[in-house]
Every structure is written in C-alpha cells, then in structure tokens.
Amino acid sequence: MENINYFFTNKDDGNIAYHVGDIKENVDKNREELSKKYSFDLEKLIYMNQVHGNNVQVVDEDSARLIEDCDGLITNSKGLTLMVMVADCIPIIFMDKKKGVVAAVHAGRNSTFQKIAQITANKMIDKFLCKPSDIEVIMGPSIGKCCYEVNDELKNIVKTSFGEEFIKGNNIDLQGINTMLLNDIGVVNISIANTCTKCSNEPYFSYRVDKKCGRFAGLVTIK
C-alpha cells in the first residue's frame, strides 16, 4: 500500500492562485508556507491553467509544472504534488493506494456536465490498471445544492442529461451528479465534504459570495 497524503487548504492559508488579480509575491509566499506546513516539495508541485473543460492529463517528473488547458491531473510518480484550485467548484481527489495512483480534478458545472470525474477514473483504470473498487474519491468543500441556483436552461440540461433527482427548485446537486457518474463505472468509495462554501461560514473562498475572491486548493502527493 502506498502512503498518500491529501489535504484541502482554506482562507487561513491565503490565496493560492496567480490568476485572480493577487500580487505574485503574495501567492509565492502562500504556496511556500503551504509547502512547509504540509511538508511537500514546492519544486515538484504541478497545477493547471483550469478552463472548465474535461481534459485530464497524466503527468510525471518530466512534465511542466503548469499544465495548460487542463482540469484534471493524474500521476503515479512519487514525490509529485498535484493541485486543483477552487472557489465553489468541487475539488476532487482520487487515490488508488494499491496501485499508487492519484488524481486532482477541478469539477465545476461545465466539467461535471462533461463527465470529468468519469474520464479521470477511466484513465486510472485504462492506463494504470486500477480496479474501480480500489479507487477512493474525496470531494472537498464546494457549493452545495443548498445554494447552487442556476437558470432554467441549465436546470433543464441537468434534468434531461442526469435526472430530476439532482434538481430542487432551480438548485442543482453537482456532488450528486459526480457521484452517480462514478457509481456508473463501479467507483463507489466516495466521501463528500459536508461543507458548503457559500453558506457554511467555514473559512473557504466562495466565488458566489465574492467575485473577486481568492482560491483555495486540494492537493495530493504519493509520499
């Protein structure tokens, strides 16, 4: 069994993203402090220019540290840390401790609709021979169905593509849709953080609360 370490940051760790108008030095400092706090190698941190798509890349030591046009990273390389940045979207961590394979995924509405969770698990299965029953999935703090209101058009997409059970009024259940998509391919070991980024008052950034907010992150490392 591989020793895998994952965690989600919060507001106390500061803004982790360069793309939200923060001063570069602030983000550098926040990332450096994070690497000390959780003892990972900052030189081996891989993150994404996230675009709300469904491109999932397998990375290793030779990969660039910033992967363009990407919303999911997979690796079996020890010592690399994969990072996803969010504020309301779901940060999803995947782990197969037997095979030593991990993934970090950015699942907002669009990527969820484009089945990024399934694409990630299927790549772990196809490229690394992971068994669906060995894949553990952790969905981090994100906007819940309590708060995730959308327009009628988007609501109808959910209704026709995924089912009425994921709608209540004009609110949709992204965690539920991702869970169903994973269950459909045999991935059932799923835990969901019981924390809504918008209404919980827990220290997480929420884009729906403040459009100029920072980003927190989900990170995973094979030790």
Q: Which of 196, 213, 217, 219 binds Zn ion (CB under 5 A)?
A: 196
Site membership for Zn ion, residue 198 (CB under 5 A):
yes
Contacts 24+ apart (CB under 8 A), 180-185: 181/112, 181/115, 181/117, 181/118, 182/117, 182/118, 182/121, 182/137, 184/118, 185/118, 185/121, 185/122, 185/125, 185/132
In the complex with Zn ion, the residue whose CB is nearer, 129 or 146, is: 146
Q: Which residues contact 25 (CB under 8 A, 6 or more apart)?
A: none
Site membership for Zn ion, residue 202 (CB under 5 A):
no
Q: Which of 23, 42, 66, 146 binds Zn ion (CB under 5 A)?
A: 146
Token code pair at residue 64? 């660039």
Closest distance of CB 146 from Zn ion, Å: 3
Per CB under 5 A, the segment of 94-102, 110-118, 124-132, 199-207 that binds Zn ion is 199-207
Contact present, 101 and 75 (Cβ < 8 Å)? yes
Closest distance of CB 144 from Zn ion, Å: 4
Site membership for Zn ion, residue 87 (CB under 5 A):
no
Q: Which of 20, 58, 147, 150 binds Zn ion (CB under 5 A)?
A: 147
User: By rule CB under 5 A, what count of residues binds Zn ion?
Assistant: 6
Helix (H, G, I), strand (E, B) or coil at 35: helix
Nearest to 119 by CA among 53, 173, 191: 53
Per CB under 5 A, the segment of 3-11, 78-86, 108-116, 140-148 that binds Zn ion is 140-148
Q: Give the footprint of Zn ion on this chain (CB under 5 A).
A: 144, 146-147, 196, 198-199
